[in-house]
Structure formats: structure tokens, C-alpha cells
Amino acid sequence: MSRRRPFHPALLVALVLVLAGATGVALAIATGSHHSRQPGPPSITAPVPPHPPVEVMPWSWTQELAFYQPPAPLVDEPPGTLVRIQHLAPDVALPPGTIAWRILYHSLSIHGHDIVDSGIVLAPGGRPPPGGWPLVTFAHATVGIADFCAPSRYSDIDWISDVHGFLAAGYAVAATDYQGLGAPGVHPYLVGTSEARSVLDAARAAREIPGLDISNRVVAVGFSQGGQAVLFAGQQAASYAPDIDLLGVVAMSPGIAIPRIIASLDTSADLNGFFVTVAYAWSHTYSNLPITSLLTPEALAKIGVVQSQCEDGIGTAYSTLQPDQVEQPGLSTDAAWQEHLEQNDPGHSPTYAPILIVQGEEDLLIPYRLDEQFAQMVCARQHDRVTFDLYPTGGHYTATVQSRSAVLKWVAARFASEPAPSTCRGVPAPRDGVVPDV
């Protein structure tokens, strides 16, 4: 049963007009067993309450920024409800017939407010299999928090790890920008619940695109920040999005052990930009974290760069300061700061779906020992099903390239309803038999 609303005749006319003027990409609008301690969510979806039809915005330079502005007033709709779509012409070669759209869709902030998120959806050309195209919902790495850093604003879509492989395998792909990136608001960078909702609601929204037949059978794939996002999505899918049948989670070089990683940012001036990005985002997310309690006056003097540059620019601007010139002293004993670090650390709630962790041994940003210890913890304490793939010559990014064939094979097995490994195969035993606390 599809989650889509009825196809409106007026929308069909609009789609024909948009597609008739589209250039650059040929568009074709085509007519298990998995881990659980309890019975999993049903594979069918609940009906969506009636709401206005999807708006189709023709692409033009003058409309590019207007696409991301939500309707005013924004009428509350269920999370995942599609608001608007716009033809996207990627400037990279994709399998023939690939369908590409920007999307604007409803989501839910961590404070319970109805908001809109943006992203993109791609689907193979041709006739989908029975039940619709299997769906990969993808979560991207750190880009910054300014709206213009949103990946969907650019026609180069190679930020989606192995997008060509997913499309060639016959999967649709939904890729969120996250909350507050692209659409209005401050992006809650590294806030796990916010990221998880963006990832899951993008999957819901993809299923509402008129003319596309997309399944609710989903695998979540994320890289770096996105690895943290999909781990949280795996923990929250059954309660937040029971209409999504989440079959697996692939976390590549994931952001885990958040308290330890954030604490390690004071080891190098080159990492100052990451800390400033977290401080700025969390001060706008949590009322008990004023930015003056996190950043020094020297750091605050440069804070405008956070909204005028993407992550590389932020890093460059703050690399001229030493870490002790950026972070307020005493954060290791600040109760509010420590509370939110723990809240945003994945792995402390059971995951419904099996997990694949991809990690490079030469990763200088996320030390591989942390991901190894994470896998040991969730295997032993939560009995999650985890496969840990370590690539000896892989770095933070290169491990995602080296693992492409293995990831595709693992994802294909989930969509084929093959049983996931019944034990934590490939996860080294804890040293001295002591389960690490990551």
C-alpha cells in the first residue's frame, strides 16, 4: 500500500509542462528476514490525511532560491509530507533514464515543531519491480550550516556515496540536506534526533512524488556526520516512522563516541572549525547552552563566518587561533554541555535493523579504534547485529570508495530478504573481555 496521495489531474498537466521544457537529462516518469527482539513494524503504511497537492516549481535561475522557502503560512502536515518538487539536471553522467528531483518536505524539529527540510530524490528509468523501487535514504558528511552549503543546491551529486552504483542496482535514492540546511533555520549540526528525522522523512517524501513508484522497503546509508545520522535513524525508525520498513543501516566512517570526539578537537588548531560549528548550532538548538558559555570572546569575534562560509572556510578562519583561544575553559565539567554530548552519542538504544560499519584504519578524523569499540559495545550490550568492515589502507573518505562493492552486496542482501548475520561477525572480541563504554 502506497503512502502517496491521489494523483491530481491539475498536477499531471503541470508535470507535463515541466518535463516538456526540461533539458540536460532525459526524464521518464514511469507509469526478511531482519533483526528484531520483538515483532517488527508492518510492511504496509497508514493512509495520509488529505492535504493540498504537491507543487511543481519549474527550474530557473530566478526560482532557485525560492524553491527552499516554505509556503506562508506553513500548514501543519504529517512528517514526510511532500510540499514541492523541482526538476534537477545533474551535471554528472547517470544511468540512462534516471529521474531527478529536488524535494521540499515536512519534518518535525526536536522541539516538536512542524518545519520543512530539503533534499533530492533520484530513481532509475524504466518499469519498477513489483512493490516499487527499493529505496536508499542517504545522509551526507559535514558541509557547514549556512543555507547555501546545502548539497541539493548544486547539480554535482557525487556527494552521495556511490550514487551510480545504487541507481545501476535498481534502487531509488533519497538524500536529505538535514534540517536548517537549504530550508530556513539553523542546522542542528550533530544533533542525532534531528538528523534521524530528516533521513526518515526524506524516505517518506520520496514515496509521495507523483508518477514514481517507490517502496517503503528502505536501507539507510550515511557517511561521517551522516553515519551518526543513520545510526540514530536505526534507533528511532520503529517509533518515529513505523510506515518505513527499515531493513538495514550502513554507517561509513561514522561520527560516534561524540563526547570523546568533541573533547579531542582541542588537540589541533585545524579542528577549531568543527568545534565552532557545533557550538554555534547547539547554542541555537538548546536553550541552556548560550554561545558565550561555549566560545571565548576571540572566537565570537569571528562568528559571522559560520553563516558566510561552508565548513572549509570556517576551518580556515579559525585555524589562526589556538584551541584554548576558542573553547571556554571548564566545559569538561559543564553539566548542560556534557548532557547534550551524551544525548547525541549513538549506540545507547537498541537498533531495529542490522548494521554495517565501514571504517578505514588510517582515518585521522575518526580513529578506527572508536568505531571498533562502538561495535563491541552494541554487540555485547544491546545484541544488535553488526558487521564491522575495516580497510587497512582506508582514510576517512577513501574507505567509502574501497568498500563500494562490499556495501552494494550487503545492501542487496537486505533488499533480497536474506538473513542478516546472526552474530557480530567480524567484530573483534573486547580486550580482556571488558565491554568498552563508548
Query: What CATH number is associated with residue 239?
Result: 3.40.50.1820
198-211 in b/e form (b: 16+ CB < 10 A) is bbbbbbbbbbbbbb
At residue 360, the 3 state secondary structure works out as: strand
How many CB atoms are closer than 10 A to CB 393?
10
pLDDT in tens, 214-229: 999 999 999 999 999 9
CA 159/CA 162 separation, integer angstroms: 9
Q: Which residues contact residue 230 at a Cβ distance below 8 angstroms, ignoring those fewer than 6 apart?
A: 137, 139, 196, 199, 220, 221, 222, 249, 250, 251, 254
Within this chain, do residues 404 and 417 fall inside the same structural domain, yes or no? yes
Tell me if 112 is assigned to some domain. yes
In a domain, 84, yes or no: yes
Instruction: Give the per-residue pLDDT at 325.
Output: 96
Domain-embedded: residue 4: no
Q: Could you tell me if 316 and 381 lie in one domain?
A: no
Nearest to 279 by CA among 329, 227, 327, 225: 327
The answer to whether 256 touches 371, Cβ cutoff 8 Å, is yes
User: The domain containing residue 266 runs over which residues?
Assistant: 259-343
Same domain, 120 and 267: no
| Rounded Cα distance, 354 and 351, in Å | 7
In a domain, 410, yes or no: yes
Query: Cβ neighbours of residue 118 under 8 Å, at least 6 residues apart?
Result: 67, 68, 102, 103, 104, 105, 150, 152, 176, 177, 181, 182, 183
Residues 66 and 181 in one domain: yes
Give the amino acid at 376.
Q
**C-alpha 164: how far from chain center:** 18
Neighbours of 99 (CB within 10 A): 25
CA distance 174 to 197: 13
Task: Let me know if residue 400 belongs to a domain.
Answer: yes
**CA end-to-end span of the chain, whole Å?**
40
What are the backbone dihedrals phi and psi of residue 85, each rounded to the nearest 5 degrees, phi first? Answer: -130, 155
291 part of a folded domain:
yes
Same domain, yes or no, for 146 and 242? yes
Q: Please give the DSSP secondary-structure letter assigned to residue 86.
A: E
Residue 402 in domain: yes
Phi, psi of 28 (to 5 degrees): -135, 105
Neighbours of 11 (CB within 10 A): 18
Residue 142 lies in a domain: yes
The most confident of the ranges 39-53, 154-168, 420-434 is 154-168
Non-local CB neighbours of 417 within 8 Å, separated by 6+ positions:
32, 33, 34
Domain boundary among 343, 370, 390: 343
Full-model pTM:
0.87
Is 90 exceeded by the pLDDT of residue 196?
yes
User: Are 312 and 219 found together in one domain?
Assistant: no
Q: Which segment, 65-69, 175-179, 257-261, is predicted with the most confidence on average?
A: 175-179
* Same domain, residue pair 198 and 149: yes
Q: Is residue 293 located within the same domain as residue 404?
A: no
The answer on pLDDT for 124 being more than 90 is yes
Domain boundary among the residues 343, 363, 381 is at: 343
- 296-343 pLDDT, tens per residue? 999 999 999 999 999 999 999 999 999 999 999 999 899 999 999 999
Residue 48 pLDDT greater than 50, yes or no: no
What is the distance, to the nearest Å, from the Cα of residue 13 to the centroid of all Cα atoms in its chain?
33
Same domain, 114 and 175: yes
Q: Collapsing DSSP states into helix, strand and coil, what is residue 238? A: helix
Grid coordinates representing 325 are 583561544
Residue-wise pLDDT for 167-185, tens only, equals 999 999 999 999 999 999 9
Helical spans, DSSP H, in 208-302: 225-240, 258-264, 272-285, 297-300
3-state secondary structure of 402: helix
153, 264: one domain? no
Q: How far is CA 110 from the centre of its chain?
A: 15
Do 332 and 363 reside in the same domain of the chain? no
Q: Are 90 and 119 within 8 A, CB to CB?
A: no
Report the domain count for the chain: 2
Three-state secondary structure call for residue 25 = coil
**Domain shared by 233 and 279, yes or no:** no
Sign of CA dihedral 40, 211, 196, 252: positive
Boundary-marking domain end, from 279, 313, 343: 343
